[in-house]
Structure 1
Amino acid sequence: MRENKKIRVWIGLLTVVMVGVLFWWPAPRVSAESGSTLQSDFQQAAKKYHVPEKLLMAVSYNETQFNDHNGKPSVAGGYGVMHLTDAAEQVSTAGKKSQQLPDSSVLHTLIKAAKLTGLSETKLKTETSANIEGGAALLANDQKQLGHSLTSDANFWYGAVEKYSQATTSQAAEFFADDVYQTIKKGVHQAGVTLTAQKVSPVKEQPNSFHLDSDTATVEGPDGLPIEWVPALYKVFDKQGNYGNYDLADRPNDGAKINYIVIHNTETTFDDALHLFTAVPNYASANYVVSSDQGTVAETVQPKNVAWHAGNWYINSHSIGIEHEGFATVGGFWFTEAMYQSSAKLVKYLAAKYNIPLDRQHIIGHDNVPGLNPAAQKTMHWDPGTYWNWQHYFELLGVNFKNSQGSGEIITITPDSNHNLTADSGQKVTDNGVDLPLKGSNFVYLYKHPGFTSDLISDKDFSSGTIGTTEKDDWSDKAVTGQQFHKVGQSGDWTEIDYGGQNAWFYNPDGANTTNATGKLVTPKGSQPVPVYGSAYPKAAILKKDKVTNTKAKALYVMPVGQKYVYGGKLTANYFNSHFDANSPKNVIKGDTQYIQIQFNHRIGFVKASDVKVVSQ
């Protein structure tokens, strides 16, 4: 193995990094009016334009989750809970204008809605009731254009719903419409709006007069997902033999099992991310990229091959990386429902195909990936960050973290916005000292002692001092939704857990921010602390035999005697010794050391099975 190949594992997710956030949107709100009014707005608009009420609500939910983003345009220039588009209004990203979208009628539905309703564009943008009227008018107009009556039977509106998606391919249009009808089947109760679950069987044989293109390229993903093949760059870059932007493999047939799916965000636009992966010698790639606008997906590296995305060669070798368009600090704005829906369907498909557990030790964020050594740990990424909605995302995967079980020795972090990061606690989320929204945050702060006056905990391989901060990228003092820890005790409203070799406290009145869980716990076997690693590599002697040098498992931390951490599975050591234009099973060097994965702190970790004992709760 060439020494210069190792350089790529330290390269971050993208070469385009957001240098400070000059701009952010306020916390999302549901409506300028009350939640109860929102329900009546749907009723009145549906009645006025003869659109099935349940259909109108389901369309809105799948466009925005009933979120109007404070009257600001979405990344596609969409306004309000019905996402009425005006492409002339493009949002800023980190102080710069986003790429201008092509001038197309589908990107100007706001203007069309104004003509159909007689309401001003300003009203349609800023008043929720008007915005819903505009959406209802568009649906009714699309239905009539298809030559169908304005029937009260939602089953006969499938084509109009496809059109409303503004999708540019038939796959994307069908994907959106199928999600809308699935929402009607499952029901929704959110933001004061109740859509009772109802049986529905949409008629899909309606003629499609909207002339959408069909993408028939062979890709790996679930049926109906709007996905296309956009191959990442694969070539030798120089005379020294450096190459990229990924490695050929034959996972899992070559012995390198796929254990993880890593969730990223791009910190750039969808198009720019694809350019970096497919056209630039960037030493970085991902298996998939998901757009914010319509939730369309580009497959850039086949799952059997190894994308360079996680900054940890062991994790790269055993994972699939999925990028999501957007900027983490304004993630509540960029992370759209279309994106969540597409990503979750893709993850559910991949997890089933490769037998990956649907939990937070295997469906992880880039911020949960450990470094390979202490120096690397300090520089590891923090995306998708504070505003990725893990609770909602896992619900789409069919997992609800808030389903309580067990005695409470193992707890799942499930923050409740009414009892976490509240303004009266004095807690903040900041970016270079500038306050960011509290609403939508996905974590609890961890303190050295019970009480808001206590210092936040820190991490020796991240923090420059001994006190944690409220900065968005300071992962050392945050426990995130879905992560599980051993509960040590309770003092009033405060819960104590074992975390990263420390004792950490977080605000948890009456258990509001946690849910009891079942599982296994891992603790040192003997009377000495146990090393915690960032990989499950074979012994150095085994690697050396295959001419792999300067690569060995290095301890990041130690697990103190008496502490316990949640079990994430047993692994046998291996190392992917890749070479350009070669995917031989011989590239996977197998060892005999057994490791156990744990949730150690904000990031996962690995301990040698011989050092610990595993106990059931």
Structure 2
Amino acid sequence: MRARLRRSAALLTGVLIPAALLMGSPAAATSLDGPVSGAFAKAAATYEVPRDLLVSLAYAETHLDGHDGRPSASGGYGLMHLVASRTLERAATLTDLPVAELKSDDAANITGGAAVLRAYADEAGLDAAARKDPAEWYVPIARYGGATSPDVARLYADTVYDLLAEGVRGTTAGGESVTVKPRTVEPDRGAYAKAKDLDGPGTLAASTDYPQATWVPANSANYAVSSRPSSDAIDRIVIHVTQGSYAGTISWFQNPAAKVSSHYVVRSSDGAVTQMVREKDRAFHAGDYNRRSVGIEHEGFVDDATWFTDAMYRSSAALTRNIADRYGIPKDRTHIVGHNQVPGTDHTDPGGYWNWTTFMQYVTGGGGTTNPHTPESVCGSGYKVIDSAALGSAGTVHLLYNAANGNNCVATIKKTSIGTASATSAYLEVQGKTRITDSGNFAYYAGPVRAAAAGECVKWGGKVGSSVYDSPFEHCD
């Protein structure tokens, strides 16, 4: 089925795409007026890289903030996150621009990123015709992220294509608006089609300490095997900000050169959680507190509040509460601390934009009685709600659609007995096919239930306790 998106579905990453842009009105032309938009257009034309893909990649990496030439945690510079000893030096060779200029000048940095992408496209065998098709750029995009595993490379590229499908409106440090109109592209993943989809069904590992987390192990050089809490008591939870993107941080912790890691990484857009170090082991994240703490990294940069979404706060709070309950850690600011509070540290994260009041309310339950999970976080990146039905006061069942792959998803989100296992279900039935159901005693939600339904009618529904909703066959277009 094609999505019949409500106007509110234009929300992405905490940013609203104006209706004028969605309808392709002349107002959209303003996105080309400023110096950064002009630099994207010029670089795209010079190196024959699709302009909207170039912007989507930059937004995924940095939210279009060059951070005044300061590097990310993994050594990346500028809007395009040119990484030292990898893409930065290659960009200098390809463009004849000085490294210092590539680090600090937005236009130069965008040019360098486009040049590197074009080089990767040439090495992937993309001819002139293929370079015009955004679907053919998946392999160069995946390579640009520098992941050391195919699974994380796919996560990186999927993030860029999800943004392309959803649309982007970013604001630069200078106040310029840069936009990408929503555009559905079915990418050719090439060899990455065989890689694990870390946002897909079946990726939540039973071996994780937190049931809602995806398991992606850090490199063994970046943590110390231990036997906590028998070897060392765990009495602190340390809150970090990655100074980089979600996929980029996961990739960095898999790089043996990093010599750093954290137990968990939380995504900005939907609160997705990846565990990279078992809690019994000592992640290298907080100096003197490594032995006694569990570390949680949050996607973003300390000087950019746009990364700190409500979905991130709620998801991280649920994770923090779970850890605290299992180890008997008091839920207060003495035991749940920022990296900047660790004795002897020179770090400033999570920084002044991190809202400790909101976060701690969600951790302790005050003002946080709503479910920490959303239908989008349950179904995964790229899914948007297109229909919902109340299950009395007990919950809501949601029908979602992913424009990038044509799949539907159903998730039932509880509103009562949150955190306590109770009878909850969700189902999706494509006309002419067998109904798929997720049913059991769940603490927060049922689902995700996903199915391909392009051009087909669907029946969907769910249940919490005795409250039930069953749709007719609908959404047929």
With normalisation by structure 1, the TM-score equals: 0.37
Rg (Cα) greater in structure: 1
Q: Which has the higher helix share?
A: 2
With normalisation by structure 2, the TM-score equals: 0.46
